[in-house]
Structure 1
């Protein structure tokens, strides 16, 4: 069941059906009548996120605007901090309808979202505003990519870019070479980078990092700065290194909705959700991401963290020269059968990155050092 998008807006065909009262496992609650293309009906959407409420400064205005522009017909029942679904389970929760919509990353489900993993490929860009817009536009253009979400029983709402990875280490390191032999928590493409440097990448959940470092099982962790702040890991790993200055962005989060839920919503409600999503994404970095990063910087500093660059430009280039071919081989192999021409797809991605350049290439580490003085 494929849905064409027109003029850059991904509005699905509407299922002419009456929505039933949702079960306790989630699903839309329709408090009104007709769920067809008209304006009748009221809807409560169950939202899940593995992170805390204050990690989503873009989400709150998104929900508020949707509720306001639908005259209160759309409300949200929110479950944060993994209270409904864990990070690793969020995609499955959306697909099977335990939640109507949620926040997750393809890096935790690469087999389901191999094309989407283009947003997790490092050495492409440090401009996360451009990255979010480029990925959204490319998704709008690509029926093959849209089909990937259809297969997962999900509808993409909007991409939510996060800054390049930071390393939070229990001991000081002076260069990328110093990571050799150290055990570092990582996921996705970062594991390849750390392996190239001789580190031992460990794929463990963010909630387990603090204790693992405290017990000496891990020497440090690699993840977006917002997760570092949330986990208070700077109490046991106070040395925060700007690994992203060498790799660029390598994490792309996203908000998506259960496909059946989406198709059950009236057309005018779909229009509002789409319009608000586009507006949020247009300014997601300056309006929401940068203030969130600055708040994370303060929280990490309050916990005893110190922000430092790491390695030289030459070390970073050597890492890219060895690691990027591995990332490319992994991605092109994963999308075989899903994309007719992976190279053309990647070339178009690069074109859109250039077209959407925001002029702000700062990494979270750079933002922290500027913000904290």
Structure 2
């Protein structure tokens, strides 16, 4: 987001909100990312800066990156260690089973398209808000769907579906797990911060991963190939407060947070889409990385192999007494625009 656009939007927020803000308040924002990660710089930071400016400087933030307050982002909120926390539902799949609908293959082609659909389900009154988030005592400020995953490998260059056979690929949740299995690979659950060592040691052969997440963890040093084309799904995150924390905010503060969050959400997904292309070009030029897109005919073979994953997920959720089919219906009906 340009500084000119950012300044204009903040000025508009200040014109209606700043006079009501008087007492200085400091909030804590915790996340598990490196301090300079794109999801912080083009998401969390835009939100916090907008709140500070719109409040006339009465709001301040203490930011705790790299899981300094704990690896369990949901527990960080529930224990009141932070006011705002970045949550990756796939890291706590047992608590966010229905959220996996957003991570399933075939749902979207860009981060902004996926983010808009995710937000419509997550905002107050949305399907996920009612069926999952309210019970967890979380109030999403904004959400983000990462750019669609590519198959990235250390050694083997994947050029056709058969090349996926036996590949051990990093995943973080059930949707990714089923996607890799459907393509013939072997899923291994590993967090992003552990990927470098796991690839270096040969614990995994690669990952389903977006280009935008490669350089923050220096993965271009251990990953050397990528293939795109099929819509493989991706990861999601929620920038959230506890519902109790949200309810304690005065109405003028809620208005400021809401406006800042909407601004940050659109900036974050636009940055994901922009950086995905830029980082791909960068590591191809500088690190000797090989990146290719499958031909349309081959991509169609992958899409056909992945089609049962979506229906199987919904059926299994239904069998467990969860509203999988309703979640899928709500997601498919959600608008791809904010």
Q: How would you bin the TM-score normalised by the shorter chain?
A: 0.7 to 0.9
Distance 1:283 1:206 in 2: 23
Distance 1:293 1:274 in 2: 27
Divergent runs of 4+, >6 A: none
Distance 1:96 1:229 in 2: 32
Q: Give matches, 1:145-160, under 5 Å.
A: 145-147=128-130, 148-160=132-144
Which structure's residues are more often helix, by fraction? 2
Residue range with higher mean Cα deviation, 220-229 or 320-329: 320-329
Superposed displacement of residue 145, structure 1: 2.6
- Within the candidate set 147, 150, 161, 1:176 is matched to 161
The normalised TM-score by structure 1 is 0.75
- Within the candidate set 44, 50, 53, 1:65 is matched to 50
Q: Give matches, 1:151-230, under 5 Å.
A: 151-171=135-155, 172-188=157-173, 189-230=175-216
Q: Give matches, 1:233-244, under 5 Å.
A: 233-242=219-228
2:244 counterpart of 1:274: no
| Alpha-carbon spacing, 1:295–1:92, altered in 2? closer, same or farther (3 Å) | farther
Unaligned runs of 5+ in 1: 1-37, 358-373
- Secondary structure of the corresponding residue to residue 237 of structure 2: strand
Residue range with higher mean Cα deviation, 40-49 or 71-80: 40-49
Q: Give matches, 1:33-48, under 5 Å.
A: 39=21, 41-48=23-30
- Secondary structure of the corresponding residue to residue 335 of structure 2: helix
Query: Contact 2:182–2:309 at 8 Å: present in 1 too?
Result: no
Aligned to 1:9: none
- Secondary structure of the corresponding residue to residue 195 of structure 2: helix
Query: Contact 1:168–1:228 at 8 Å: present in 2 too?
Result: no
2:239 counterpart of 1:255: yes
Unaligned runs of 5+ in 2: 1-19
Q: Give matches, 1:1-373, under 5 Å.
A: 39=21, 41-54=23-36, 55=38, 56=40, 57-86=42-71, 89-140=72-123, 142=125, 144-147=127-130, 148-171=132-155, 172-188=157-173, 189-242=175-228, 245-286=229-270, 288-294=271-277, 296-297=279-280, 300-301=283-284, 304-334=287-317, 337=321, 339=323, 343=325, 345-353=327-335, 356=337
The normalised TM-score by structure 2 is 0.82
May I ask how many residue pairs the two structures share in their alignment? 312
| Alpha-carbon spacing, 1:300–1:84, altered in 2? closer, same or farther (3 Å) | farther
Superposed displacement of residue 70, structure 1: 1.2
